[in-house]
Structure 1
Amino acid sequence: MKAKKYFAAAAGAALAISLAACSGEGAGSEEESTTGATTGTESTESSAPSEGGLVGVAMPTQTSERWIADGDAVKAGLEEAGYEVDLQFANDDIPTQGQQVDQMITNGAEALIIAAIDGTALASQLDAAAAAGIPVISYDRLIRDSENVDFYVTFDNYQVGVQQATSLLVGLGVLDKDGNETGETGPFNVELFAGSPDDNNATFFWNGAIETLQPYLDAGTLVVPSGQTDFEQAAILRWQQETAQRRMEDILTSTYVGTDQEVDGVLSPYDGLSRGIITALQNNGYEGTVADGFPAVSGQDAEIASVKLIADDVQFATIFKDTRKLAAQAITATEAYLEGTEPEANNTTDYDNGVKVVPSFLLESDIVYADNIESLLIDSGYWTAEEVASGVSE
């Protein structure tokens, strides 16, 4: 990961905002570093002063570089603000995450920041937190079916789905980058992928994307030759790159191989899935770049391996969610609760977890194409030019 440079920047951003009161293998893959992170039930030791109290931070996995970045950015920012931090990664194992949160409560955490693996699997832990008077901040993924979720920090996930679909339409030439229709009517063969069904965000991404694509599907501009157009058919459990690669290979074998049909584009909601999809396409004879006719594949999270593929015109686009801002907002909300006040919400209507509408703070995201990598990612300090050129984080 980006290590000290990234986390120091995140911590600085977090502190500034608080003071203002506001994997797998395949195409473009890299061996991810877990230096300084935790695995299983191992906890991190904070060297920061602890006068602010203990905050438990539960992250889902280390198989995605973005979750390593999120966890370490939240930890660095909280420590900079004077808190002791217990950061845990659960390696996508639901019982492990439950045990980690239980232990945080036992150890005296005064607040919890949780990015859930399964948004429905932490009811008993949240009950225990509520009984102990511990505020719970749901981080990026909404925790469902519990009244004991105090606040939610995330991006506008429906809009992220809209952006994913928009980038696909741009890649196909149906829209220009300003969102205007070009007059191109296709038909274009597309295949659809969705995220993990136990992640509440996956439904928001899917709904935003499909509602954007639906007029073009109805008009015949887009066609899904596999016929797999339902969320349940498109969903990839745990967002696994290898699972996406296998599904794409199965679709190619069942629908395209031996016919005169070719894939023109793929809706993918996450860069790891995108790399698996691209690998499947390459293994089945698709070559070259998007400019040469390689299928336009969308993505999300601006992972460095995929940013490199975008710069090389192999993956067409991704969605940049600046997780430094997300970490900073989680820290701001935590400080508000621990200081006896309520954090500021900018959405109090849309995020119903099945029991209550959770007050939320939504952040904005951006579409990354090859021609705006520099302005969005390099100039902001998210990645360096050298990292983009190599596809490997420093």
Structure 2
Amino acid sequence: MKQSIYQMLVLFLLLILCMVGASACVKDAPKEEFLAEREPPIDEKGQEKPAGQPIKIGFSMDTLLEERWLKDRDLFKESIEALGAEVEILAANGNDALQILQAEKLISEGVDLLVIVPHNAEATAAVVHKAHQAGIKVVAYDRLVKNADIDLYISFDNEKVGELQAQAMLEEAPKGNYVYLGGAETDNNAHMMKKGVYNVLQPLIDKGDIKIVYDQWTQDWAPENAKENMAAALSANGGKVDAVIAANDATAGGALEALKGYGLAEKIPVAGQDAELAGIQRIVQGTQTMTVYKPIKTLAKETAELAVALAKGEKVAVNRKVHNGKAEVPAVFLSPVRVDGTNLEDTVIADGFHSETAIYGPQ
């Protein structure tokens, strides 16, 4: 009898333990569903937003210290407001910690969707995770966020940018010593552009026609760092350089400053990217050979439309998938355009990107 009572007690205790274990499993499941389903955004008081309020987009930008990004900011704001939505824009000017804090601020304010231009493709992965915990989707604008489940990436075909640069330089210098000045190593776009450059140049490197005599990243895309790199390339090669491919027009400008010191500013072809006004003016003056124009008005407008649609829970169409180290990210890629002295009128001027007066002066 005692043994029977003992067995009943043991069975009872086992039953209690199983019930506790099952309860723990049930508690864990909703957490995964919350992260996957992206519950509706909440405001700063932790309450779900009332229906009828306008969509609010948060725009976290790396920097506003370059002409190009000032245009992106203004065009994106204009496009968002044209859709009847609101936007709050914060820029960190190259400070990773500040960008994360600013993005967290936008998340805490309960924006309906976060658009981010990352300074550091790796560091901003934490921002994506926090946004998703709050039920907020994240769109990467022009630059990819690495190792994060971002909801959409929209940019230009940056590999194609590099290919256009390399093809233009080969027309000017089919053989010889090449210098490559990359962008910031922390920027995924810089890696994609470099890949495009080498897609074109590698067969000629293997053949022996082209020799890469200097290849260096440019910290923070800073022109002064590009100038130092170019000076180092010239010094190491006794000034014997036949072509320079710079990742954007700002770095091309820095390279040209160094070339001036060697009396080579108008003698060596130089490629850039972004179609900045200074770069276009140098093309007119004959010191820069070409640039790659990325119609950012189209980028800003497309991103605004996609962001608002996603914030409303609507489906959007994509044309690519990009692996970012963690996931296959739905992406929309736009086409870049080669610009040189032959097609300024048909590209940057026709689009209103730069005016004739700004390029050529009042005369």
State the Cα distance separating 1:191 from its structure 2 match.
1.0
Aligned residue in 2 for 1:242: 224
Q: Percent identity?
A: 30
Deviations 1:212-252 (A, max 9, x none): 0111222222223x3x35xxxx1112111110100111121
Residues 1:212 and 2:185 are matched in the alignment: no
Q: Which amino acid aligns with 1:90?
A: A
Residues 1:254 and 2:236 are matched in the alignment: yes
Alignment of 1:68-147 (within 5 A): 68-147=70-149
State the Cα distance separating 1:68 from its structure 2 match.
1.0
Deviations 1:153-185 (A, max 9, x none): 00111111111111111222x3xxxxxxxxxxx
State the Cα distance separating 1:121 from its structure 2 match.
0.7
CA contact (8 A) 2:181 2:229 kept: no
Q: Which amino acid aligns with 1:109?
A: V
Comparing 50-59 with 84-93, greater Cα deviation is found at 50-59
C-alpha distance in structure 1 between counterparts of 2:126 and 2:241, whole Å: 46
Alignment of 1:1-394 (within 5 A): 51-147=53-149, 149-172=150-173, 174=174, 186=175, 188-224=176-212, 226=213, 228-229=214-215, 234-256=216-238, 262-287=240-265, 289=266, 294-348=267-321, 351-390=322-361
Q: Which amino acid aligns with 2:101?
A: Q
Q: Which amino acid aligns with 1:221?
A: D
C-alpha distance in structure 2 between counterparts of 1:219 and 1:127, whole Å: 47
C-alpha distance in structure 1 between counterparts of 2:256 and 2:126, whole Å: 40
Larger of the two Rg values belongs to structure: 2
Greater RCO (Cα-Cα under 8 Å, separation 6 or more): 1
Q: Determine helix, strand or coil for the equivalent of 1:86.
A: strand
Instruction: Indicate the RMSD between aligned Cα atoms, in angstroms.
Output: 1.5
CA contact (8 A) 1:51 1:83 kept: no
CA contact (8 A) 2:85 2:308 kept: no
Q: Determine helix, strand or coil for the equivalent of 1:306.
A: helix
CA contact (8 A) 1:332 1:343 kept: no
Runs of 5+ in structure 2 lacking a partner? 1-51
Q: Which amino acid aligns with 2:234?
A: L
C-alpha distance in structure 1 between counterparts of 2:247 and 2:130, whole Å: 34
C-alpha distance in structure 1 between counterparts of 2:172 and 2:101, whole Å: 44
Specify which structure has the higher proportion of helix: 2
Q: Which amino acid aligns with 2:76?
A: V
Aligned residue in 1 for 2:41: none
State the Cα distance separating 1:379 from its structure 2 match.
1.5
State the Cα distance separating 1:360 from its structure 2 match.
0.2
Deviations 1:338-383 (A, max 9, x none): 22212210112xx111110100000001110111111111122111
State the Cα distance separating 1:189 from its structure 2 match.
1.9
TM-score between the two structures when normalised by the length of structure 2: 0.83
CA contact (8 A) 2:241 2:268 kept: yes
Aligned residue in 1 for 2:21: none
